[in-house]
């Protein structure tokens, strides 16, 4: 393999001749063989780095710190990355020491070397375009790295929102489909009062839709960036107008309402925007757990469980029990939710670990946030396509549960009175007969009257009925 020799503070290293990354990236590969979470697998983050570097180049060119040729080459390199090229040249581990320096230098080196190629030079000819002096000009890892994270996470938020809403709409569609079907409601896993199956799915949709404003509010914080802060927020090594010019450039590139942090010193050490967004993801995860647990219970059986729902069969459920089909799709969404909850704890602990003017734990925070968003997007799609959209109601079973339940006596109580209701409930428990049959047997109501009270439209909302008991 052909190599080129590059050097840094530590010494010299042989780099593959065709590689767009350089010596500091190679150091990072050697130093941090930590996980299977590689930067190249996080395109939104890579794009965030490209947005950041292009915005910085635009500001530096405007300030006379780059020649036109240098700027044009850097610009083209960034645009190629934004178009999906060269992502394989970002091999560093997402989890790394150095507060993101390895990632920042990976971006600087790839952009510099690709810009050199565009100008007709070979990678490594850094006198012409330097990763540090030109691509990283007027920057530090401590403002470029968090800015790239913010931009990447905001892009992921916009994608997350789409998939989240698609899932919610699928539940709303089921709410309409199942509106005519009555089922028993349950509290503490005990029979309560009837409701419609449509109301169950409508409630699922509502509790999720309630989270969208919280998501948007948390994501809005990502639009505040600290470019121009450089090392600790004082702006050392940058020119007076650079911060504003860079912020405006990034806003123009992205089309987003990007704004400069009011206090750059504070913004450089404060990573709480990730805490806020991760916290909303945790809220959604806990709600997804509730929904998926309910789906598993309502679909349990098919003969010895509740089985008010038929969940789509996706795979054989056992290597030893023939015919068994498990609720594998809700189960995987449960596991995704637990992972997101765990990631949120990690984000909170890392945020707390900030010291003085920087939080060196930011790489792990970023990995957790990107991962949580990605696996939830995948989970939403799987749950929607392979479960929610294909769910069928077992209307007969739902009807039988209502007729066999003591709980429907609560719905009859305002009509037949507490004394009659108590007598019927006691006899039903003692004999095993249904409340429905006992009311008719004792001639408290006619069948027509009883069916009117227990009709779907009268069981799912407050009503006033002109029906009186016969005795």
pTM score of the predicted model: 0.92
Contact 208, 164 (CB under 8 A): yes
Contact 251, 217 (CB under 8 A): no
Asked if residue 420 has pLDDT above 90, the reply is: no
Work out whether strand 190-196 and strand 12-16 pair parallel, antiparallel, or are unpaired. unpaired
pLDDT value of position 407: 78
Contact 74, 139 (CB under 8 A): no
Contact 378, 115 (CB under 8 A): no
pLDDT value of position 453: 82
Asked if residue 116 has pLDDT above 80, the reply is: yes
- Residue whose tokens read 């083209």: 76
Report the C-alpha gap between 109 and 59 in whole angstroms.
Answer: 19
Look at phi and psi of residue 237 and say left if phi exceeds 0, alpha if psi is from -120 to 50, else beta: left
pLDDT value of position 347: 97
Report the C-alpha gap between 451 and 445 in whole angstroms.
Answer: 10
**Residue 7 DSSP one-character state:** E
Q: Quick check: do 3-137 and 144-395 share a fold?
A: no
SS3 call for 224: strand
Mean pLDDT of the chain: 93
Work out whether strand 224-225 and strand 259-260 pair parallel, antiparallel, or are unpaired. parallel
List the catalytic residue out of 7, 35, 318, 455: 318
Residue 279 buriedness (CB in 10 A; 0-12 / 13-18 / 19+) = middle
Task: Please indicate whether residue 23 or residue 454 has the higher confidence score (pLDDT).
Answer: 23
Q: What is the mean pLDDT of residues 204-215?
A: 98
**pLDDT, tens digit, 9 for 90 and up, residues 247-265:** 999 999 999 999 999 999 9
Q: What is the mean pLDDT of residues 274-293?
A: 98
A 10 A CB-CB count for 1 gives 6
Among 106, 155, 98, smallest CA distance to 364 is for: 98
Asked if residue 233 has pLDDT above 80, the reply is: yes
**pLDDT, tens digit, 9 for 90 and up, residues 138-195:** 999 999 999 999 999 999 999 999 999 999 999 999 999 999 999 999 999 988 888 9
Asked if residue 457 has pLDDT above 90, the reply is: no
Domain boundaries, the chain: 3-137, 144-395, 406-459
> Which CATH number fits the domain 144-395, given the four candidates 1.10.760.10, 3.40.50.720, 1.20.200.10, 1.20.1050.10?
1.20.200.10
Asked if residue 456 has pLDDT above 80, the reply is: no
CATH code of domain 406-459? 1.10.40.30
Using pLDDT thresholds of 50, 70 and 90, give the confidence band for residue 38: very high
pLDDT value of position 121: 97
The architecture that CATH gives domain 3-137 is Orthogonal Bundle (1.10)
Report the C-alpha gap between 84 and 145 in whole angstroms.
Answer: 20
Q: Is 278 a catalytic residue?
A: no
Asked if residue 462 has pLDDT above 90, the reply is: no
Using pLDDT thresholds of 50, 70 and 90, give the confidence band for residue 406: confident
**pLDDT, tens digit, 9 for 90 and up, residues 95-113:** 999 999 999 999 999 999 9
Report the C-alpha gap between 204 and 323 in whole angstroms.
Answer: 30
Using pLDDT thresholds of 50, 70 and 90, give the confidence band for residue 80: very high
């Amino acid at each position: 393999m052909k190599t080129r020799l590059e050097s840094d503070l530590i010494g010299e290293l042989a780099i593959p001749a065709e590689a767009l990354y350089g010596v500091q990236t190679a150091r990072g590969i050697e130093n941090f063989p930590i996980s299977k979470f590689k930067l190249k697998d996080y395109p939104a983050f890579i794009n965030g780095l490209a947005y950041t570097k292009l915005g910085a180049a635009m500001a530096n060119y405007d300030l006379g710190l780059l020649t036109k040729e240098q700027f044009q080459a850097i610009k083209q390199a960034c645009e190629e990355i934004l178009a999906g090229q060269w992502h394989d040249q970002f091999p560093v581990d997402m989890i790394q020491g150095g507060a993101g320096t390895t990632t920042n230098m990976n971006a600087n080196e790839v952009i510099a070397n690709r810009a050199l190629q565009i100008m007709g030079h070979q990678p490594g000819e850094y006198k012409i375009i330097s990763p540090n002096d030109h691509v990283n000009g007027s920057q530090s890892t401590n403002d470029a790295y968090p800015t790239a994270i913010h931009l990447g996470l905001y892009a992921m938020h916009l994608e997350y929102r789409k998939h989240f809403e698609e899932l919610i709409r699928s539940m709303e569609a089921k709410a309409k489909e199942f509106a005519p079907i009555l089922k028993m409601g349950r509290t503490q896993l005990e029979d309560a009062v009837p409701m419609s199956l449509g109301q169950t799915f409508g409630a699922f949709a509502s509790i999720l839709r309630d989270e969208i404003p919280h998501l948007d509010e948390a994501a809005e914080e990502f639009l505040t960036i600290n470019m121009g802060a450089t090392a600790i927020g004082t702006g050392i090594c940058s020119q007076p107008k650079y911060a504003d010019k860079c912020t405006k450039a990034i806003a123009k590139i992205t089309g987003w309402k990007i704004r400069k942090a009011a206090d750059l010193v504070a913004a450089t050490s404060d990573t709480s925007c990730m805490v806020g967004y991760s916290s909303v993801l945790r809220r959604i995860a806990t709600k997804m757990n509730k929904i998926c647990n309910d789906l598993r219970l309502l679909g349990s059986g098919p003969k010895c469980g509740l089985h008010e729902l038929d969940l789509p069969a996706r795979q054989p459920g056992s290597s030893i029990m023939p015919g068994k089909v498990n609720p594998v799709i809700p189960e995987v969404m449960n596991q995704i939710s637990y992972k997101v909850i765990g990631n949120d704890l990690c984000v909170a602990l890392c945020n707390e670990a900030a010291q003085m003017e920087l939080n060196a734990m930011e790489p792990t925070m970023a990995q957790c946030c990107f991962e949580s968003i990605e696996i939830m997007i995948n989970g939403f799609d799987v749950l929607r396509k392979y479960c929610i959209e294909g769910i069928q109601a077992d209307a007969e079973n739902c009807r039988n549960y209502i007729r066999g339940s003591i709980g429907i006596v609560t719905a009859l109580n305002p009509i037949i009175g507490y004394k009659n209701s108590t007598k019927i409930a006691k006899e039903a428990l003692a004999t095993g007969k249904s409340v429905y049959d006992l009311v008719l047997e004792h001639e408290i109501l006619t069948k027509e009257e009883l069916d009117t009270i227990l009709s779907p439209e009268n069981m799912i909302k407050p009503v006033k009925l002109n029906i009186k008991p016969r005795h």
